[in-house]
Structure 1
Amino acid sequence: MSTHDDLTPTNDLPGVDAPAPVRETDRPAYDDDHERTPLLERFPGRGSAAAWPLGLLGVALLVGGTFLSWSYTSNVLGDLSVDFYPNGVQICMIILGLVALVMLLAHQGPLHRLGDWLDTAAAVRILGLGALAYMVITLGIIAVRSGGLINVNPGGWVSTVGALLIALSGLMLVSHQSKDPLFAQTSSWVEIITIVVLLAAVLFGATYALGTSTGGAFSLFLVFAFALAWGLAKAGFFTWVGLIAQKNRQVLMLGAFAVAFLFPFTQGGSDENMSIATQVLIFAATALGLNIVVGLAGLLDLGYIAFLGAGAYVGATMSNSAFATIGWKPPFLVVVLIGACFSAVLGLIIGSPTLRVSGDYLAIVTLAFGEIFRFTMGNLDGTNGPDLTNGPNGIPAIPELNFFGFDFGQPHEILGITIGRFANYYFLLLVIAAIIILVFTRLNNSRIGRGWVAIREDEKAAEAMGVNVFGLKLFAFAGGAFLAGMAGTVKAHHDVSVSPDQYIFLESAFLLAAVVLGGMGTVAGVLIGATILKLLPEKLRFINDYRLMIFGLVLVLMMRFRPEGLVASQRRKLEFHEDDEDLAERIEEVHLEEEEAKA
């Protein structure tokens, strides 16, 4: 009688090992091939020849519908009641449709070579689903504000059907990507043109987003931007963009500052939009300083807003305000240095004893420092302490800055375009942000920066290798405080007043969230994170009661699906995806190719 073990398959060929017997524990929990197939693979019509023409038809309907009226009434989302004159809401759909068309032509058509490098099927699928969500929300807004779906004109339904067809096409298409975008070799002029086009798109996108007059239109723009970015990311486009950005860093930096410089000229003298822009710059400059402490050195600081406040109070007390308590009125450039140095000294004083602890204890101590600073500023009123800050009332009526006869409070005409008060401060903050970015990048690429990263990864190992752990941690604390103090001196004049209630713990939490959300240790990531966290609350005031809830939900989703941040360095990607050996191999191959090219 043969036993079960006797039935184990063998191979009698010399030099060939017999395959290992299959154990019951190695078998999957299901045996049905249908159950093993991913849901997307089981979609009806998957791989059908009709998928591609169906997508082309959807693009034609989506774009064609935008040239027809979407709404019977003219007071919804601008004016959607005019034929052959699409407004901003409809132009967003035209852009999504054209990008989907490019992906379809790359999948099967004259651009088929592009399809070898990009996952065009995934891009079409995401773009179609995004367009469908956009149209459903748009039809809902029209129905709510105009009294029912009966007021939706044929153009809206045509574009909705087009979006549905694109989504179905994307679900039916099968990707034939055969090459990794990381290894794409393109000419320099193609790379530079791509960078210029992307920066121009950012400029016009920001202009449109700030110019939206209703919360509904801004929310639709967010859906559009998310669908477009996600679709291109799934295709692998941003993988290539990250590669060319590394190769053309100087072009990218110059182009980014050119876009930032041109931004006020696109606002038509709008003080409201420029006020938001200056607040974003102040927030971003401060977050970049915090990025040294948290992103590079790995020190969790929950009281960082105090250093911004210290610089602001120095700028206020040394200003020409009638409520200023210090008689010395030095030039503003001197005030900036004093405010930055004062914040750095505070960083040294607080950091010397507190940096002996780490982790949760450091977070608690820095949180306490932030609250101590706020209460101290409220007590220096001449009653509970020296009369330096006017206590809870703060220092109001801070005059405008004046550089060599240039009054920042007065509008100016440049090339026939009015540059108002907030635009004047915007340009000054742009210079300060450039200085902070320069300092950050130099430190990040220096021996000091590598020491900070070593401390962040493993403090004990860094100390064993001879790294001056305490000295570098203290320098990070003081350096970050110095940069925050610089921004604070300008903030005092921009806000016209300084008071303790401006520097609460929630502001420190938002700064930390900007660093984590954007990408710790990166410049572009922190700028994007700061922009998102400052812009969204301003434009979503119509859901004021739910803004913090939405903000918390976004952070939870980010920590779940992209913990390294929106714009993460390669090092951070590997830290959060240690098991992704393929990613590590790809990055290593790219580095080897770059070194060979340099040699």
Structure 2
Amino acid sequence: MTTQTTAPETPGAREADAPSGLLPLPERAARALALGGSALTALSTFLAWTWTAAFPGDLTVYGYPGGLQVLVLAGALLATLLALASYRPKGLRWLVPAGADPALRLATLATFATSWYTVLAISTRLGGLVNLEPGGFLVAVAALAALAGALALPFHRPAPDPADPDDTGWTKTRHGLAHTWATAKAAFTADTPRPVPALPSCAEILIIVGILALGLAVFTYGIGTEYDEQFTGFLITAGLGFAALGKAGLVAHAAQITARHRNTTLCGAFVAAALFPFTQTDDQYATLGVYILVFATVALGLNIVVGLAGLLDLGYVAFLGVGAYAAALVSGSPGSPFGVHVPFWAAVLAGAAASLVFGVLIGAPTLRLRGDYLAIVTLGFGEIFRITANNLDGTSGPDITNGSNGVSAIPDLDVLGFDFGARHHLGGFAIGRFANYFFLMLIITAVVVLVFRRSGDSRIGRAWVAIREDETAALAMGINGFRVKLTAFAVGACLAGLAGTVQAHVTYTVTPEQYLFAGPIPPNSAFLLAAVVLGGMGTISGPLIGAALLFLIPNKLQFLGDYQLFAFGVALILLMRFRPEGLIPNRRRRLEFHQDTPAPTHLTKAGA
């Protein structure tokens, strides 16, 4: 009788065979579930989700997606590609240079959140689940299955902290909760960097063109959302989709490509922005476009003060108001006591010069302060400007600003016979009033970007960065701190006044209530500062993107009513928690907030 022997079990073999994801599924089954669920979700968008057209977006049609189905389809296609990349990492390495699994989790989460939000919105608005067609039930089940499969994929578990035998009660519970949070976070953040082969210059330029075209398409879709549920779904899909691309390594790879072709990227970005009015059939959304450019230009000027020089200015919107009032008073408005009508170039110079003078006058006595004290003084200046503009009404003071009524009936610009208030036709496209001002503001933005970039790369720009990093060390190295900070203050004020000259003509009226510290609608000092921090301090593209988001989102979230600022604040808190360096940070700030990131061989310039 022979005895059957069993091979000894190697240590760790049981752990290797066991599922290591958040859900107890084998890895092969989890990948199949994520891929199949994502593909089925994409197919479900071609079915009807409801039987009635009472829900906006026309989700009753078979054969092509509409409304929120388009967003679900985009998220499902991205999740399907990432699931295929996790199956074939060698063939699709270009798609996931940093690994597929963390990106797949975020992509399936985006699809799940958007699809379930749509299903719940249909049920809530129309009165129950009975209003769903089979496609609505199918997308709910398929999206949930795809997310479950992605969460069951293995990830790198964080090493647990050594247990302290003296810990009891709440201390052990706290350590357990912390470890659980670290485990869940690792499921979405773990990645394995992979080398990406270099591409020829022509191929990289084509990639830049594709990135800009995608950015223009996403911005045009977001600004053109027609109803509240569609914009909310857009925020969910775009936010989580961008995070998924970041975890896949595509955002970092794109940043490296654009950094190697900075001039091409900047020129291409302005060309893409100039194409925006041609994508609109009327002036409705071109209005938002020109206001976004005004807000973004002022935020970029504030980025010099806060992002480069490190000076916390809480009254920066006052410089925008100084430029707007100066231009309005000399542009032929009937409400102006001066009765002067100068050409636009003279009004631009007047607005920029007035803001520059005020910047020097305010900065000279206050810039010897630091930190919170400087912030309090600038906050006071912003309020003093608004109160003074209210009092210069001929009763409480001299008649200059017409008090709370402001300077009204500012005429449209007429530059070299081109009337900005009239409708023009260009290449078969009708260009309205706000589109005309959009192109003008785009030129102003290009000037501000040029000033920011050249000054950031100059000797004075390096001095600003030195003051921001350590003012004491900079003074010890021979930098004249007061002069350097005053220069930053003056340049930032001048750029804000430059944008204010265009804002005065776009809005027709300049009133003190437009220049508050905080309010529901930007521009104001609080939103300007948030745009700089949110986008990425010390960069060019960061404040531009941050300002666009901070202006667009409040305008689209007005249906929330009194809860608008609450929801907006929660979103900012979450973003600062998970990405404190901003959406488009430079390498210095990325290293400050992520010390575990390997240091680059060289640092980018201040305006990168």
Relative to the length of structure 2, the TM-score reads 0.87
Instruction: Determine the structure 1 residue equivalent to 2:394.
Output: 382
Task: String of CA shifts for 1:23-60, please: whole Å, max 9, x gaps.
Answer: xxxxxxxxxx9xx99x9935345552223332332133
Say whether 1:536 aligns with 2:553: yes
Partners of 2:325 and 2:370 lie apart in 1 by: 29
- Counterpart of 2:63 in structure 1 is 84
Q: Following the alignment from structure 1 to structure 2, what is the Cα–Cα distance between the partners of residues 537 and 296?
A: 27
Moved more, 161-170 or 211-220: 161-170
Q: Is 1:128 the counterpart of 2:114 in the alignment?
A: no
Find 2:261's aligned residue among 248, 254, 268. 248
Which of 528, 548, 567 is 2:584 aligned to?
A: 567
Query: Is 1:508 the counterpart of 2:519 in the alignment?
Result: no
Q: Confirm or deny that 1:553 pairs with 2:533.
A: no
1:123 and 1:170 in contact (8 A); partners too: no
SS at match of 1:329: coil
3-state SS of 1:418 partner: strand
Structure 1 residues 496 and 103: alpha-carbon distance in aligned structure 2, compared to 1, 3 A threshold = same
Distance 2:85 2:273 in 1: 33
2:150 to 170, 173, 182: 170
The within-5 A match list for 1:179-218 is 180=193, 184-218=197-231
Q: Residues of 2 paired with 1:323 and 1:107: CA distance? A: 66
Quick check: 2:21–2:155 contact (8 Å CA) kept in 1? no
Distance 1:178 1:505 in 2: 42
1:267 matched residue in structure 2: 280
Structure 1 distance, partners of 2:65, 2:240, is 20
CA RMSD of aligned residues (A): 2.3
- Deviation by residue 1:415-457 (Cα, 9 ceiling, x = unmatched): 2221111111000000000000010011111111110010011
- The aligned residue for residue 394 of structure 1 is 406
Q: Deviations over 1:167-214 (max 9, x none)?
A: 122223347999635764233333222222221111111222222211
The CA distance in 2 between the partners of 1:591 and 1:354, in whole Å, is 32
Aligned residue runs from structure 1 range 460-499, under 5 A: 460-499=472-511
Matches within 5 A, 1:89-108: 89-108=68-87
How far residue 572 of structure 1 moved from its aligned partner, in angstroms, is: 1.0
2-structure distance, mates of 1:275, 1:539: 14
Whether 1:344 and 2:361 are equivalent positions in the alignment is no
- Residues in 1 aligned to 2:23 and 2:587: alpha-carbon distance in whole angstroms: 38
Contact 2:110 2:240 in 1 (8 A): yes
Q: For residues 227-271 of structure 1, what are the alpha-carbon distances to aligned partners after superposition, in whole Å with 9 as ceiling and x for unaligned?
A: 2111111122111111111112122112211110000010112x2
Partner SS state of residue 430, structure 2? strand
TM-score (norm 1): 0.88
Pairing partner for 1:525 from 542, 554, 568? 542
Tell me how far 1:95 sits from its aligned partner: 1.7
User: Residue 296 of structure 1 corresponds to which residue in structure 2?
Assistant: 308
For residues 348-359 of structure 1, the aligned pairs below 5 Å read 348-359=360-371
Using the alignment, how far apart are the partners of 2:348 and 2:569 within structure 1?
A: 35
- Note the alpha carbon deviations across 1:332-374, whole angstroms, 9 max, x for none: 1011011101100100000000001111110110011111111
Counterpart-to-counterpart distance in 1, 2:422 and 2:141: 52
Deviations 1:87-107 (A, max 9, x none): 142122222222222222222
CA contact (8 A) 2:335 2:407 kept: yes
Opposite residue 451 of structure 1, the aligned amino acid is A
Partners of 2:539 and 2:300 in 1: how far apart?
9
Q: How has the CA–CA distance of structure 1 residues 43 and 175 changed in structure 2, closer, same or farther, with 3 Å as cutoff? A: closer
Q: Structure 1, unaligned stretches of length 5 or more?
A: 1-32, 595-599
CA contact (8 A) 1:199 1:259 kept: yes
Mapped to 2, the partners of 1:353 and 1:564 lie a distance apart of 32
Residues 414 and 420 in structure 2, CA contact (< 8 A), matched pair in contact too: yes
| Counterpart for residue 38 of structure 2 | 59
Aligned partners of 1:213 and 1:115: how far apart in 2?
32
SS at structure 1 position matched to 2:28: coil
Contact between 1:105 and 1:111, CA under 8 Å: does it hold in 2? no
Report the secondary structure of 2:20's partner residue: helix
Q: Distance in 1 between matches of 2:301 and 2:19?
A: 45
CA contact (8 A) 2:20 2:153 kept: no
Q: 1:472 deviation in Å?
A: 0.6
Segment drifting more, 123-132 vs 511-520: 123-132
Are the equivalent residues in 2 in contact too, given 1:124–1:169 (CA < 8 A)? no
240, 243, 246: which one pairs with 1:233? 246
Q: 1:182 to 1:256 in 2, by over 3 A?
A: farther
Give the deviation of 1:383 after TM superposition.
2.2
Residue aligned with 1:471, SS: helix
Question: Which amino acid letter does the alignment assign opposite residue 578 of structure 2?
Answer: F
Contact 1:215–1:539 (Cα < 8 Å) also in 2:
yes
* Deviation for aligned residue 1:111: 2.5
| Secondary structure in structure 2 of the residue aligned to 1:50 | helix
Asked if the contact 2:191/2:247 (under 8 Å) is kept, the reply is: no
Moved more, 422-431 or 324-333: 324-333
Residue type of the partner of 2:143?
A: A
Counterpart amino acid of 2:146?
I
Number of residues paired by the alignment?
Answer: 553
Partner residue, 2:170: none
Task: Give, in angstroms, the shift of residue 160 of structure 1.
Answer: 2.1
* Secondary structure class of the residue paired with 1:49: helix
Query: Using the alignment, how far apart are the partners of 1:301 and 1:395 within structure 2?
Result: 26
